Amino acid sequence: LTPIVRASQSSTERSYVMIKPDGVQRGLVGEIISRFERKGFTIKGLKLFSCPAALAEEHYKDLSSKPFYPKLVKYITSGPVVCLALEGPGVVASARKLIGVTNPLQAEPGTIRGDLGIETGRNVIHGSDSPENGEREIALWFKEGELCEWEPTLTPWLRE
Ligand code: UDP
Ligand code: MG
């Protein structure tokens, strides 16, 4: 798949972050988005979305041979998700740190999964694992015209 929505020239990196259906159902959307905003990343895309099975399957295609894959696709399509395109220097690794490791019981307190989850199968949130996958996933989940090209006026207060 060719990315149809490109990163702005000024920026270095983008991550696809998604609040999974349990996070939406539990009313954690504001709390989670707030953590990324306060960290200083720029929201370039944001939507509530009911994900078709084919998209969940494509997103997680690398895991298609895993025994938990059918349940994973069912989980992701069990209710609306919140899709985020975040931009900023080092956003991919930093978002993964803010999110915490896959199993919420092993995730450090202070991380999203560490603070807000109990089970791997209900771990509240997704974050891209590489800048390449960040681009791949943003192109997968957002259509052309759904991302906003903008620079926050706060940038000089966040970056030298
Ligand atoms: N997952 C699961 N059981 C497992 C491993 C993973 O249900 O044993 C789910 C979980 O929702 C996880 C997603 O599959 O977030 C993707 O797995 P991955 O190993 O890529 O973890 P992540 O990158 O999300 O931390
Ligand atoms: Mg992963």
126 noted as active-site residue: yes
128 lines ligand 1 (CB under 6 A): no
User: Does the model's ipTM exceed the 0.90 cut?
Assistant: yes
pLDDT per residue as tens digits for the range 70-120: 999 999 999 999 999 999 999 999 999 999 999 999 999 999 999 999 999
Q: Express each pLDDT in 18-44 by its tens digit.
A: 999 999 999 999 999 999 999 999 999
The closest alpha carbon to 58, from 46, 72, 45, belongs to: 72
Cβ(102) to ligand 1 under 6 A? yes
What residues have a C-beta under 5 A from ligand 2, the ion?
Answer: 129
User: Residue 121 to residues 56, 68, 76: CA-CA distances in angstroms?
Assistant: 15, 9, 10
Mean pLDDT of 9-18: 83
Our answer on whether the CB atom of 11 is closer than 6 Å to any ligand 1 atom is no
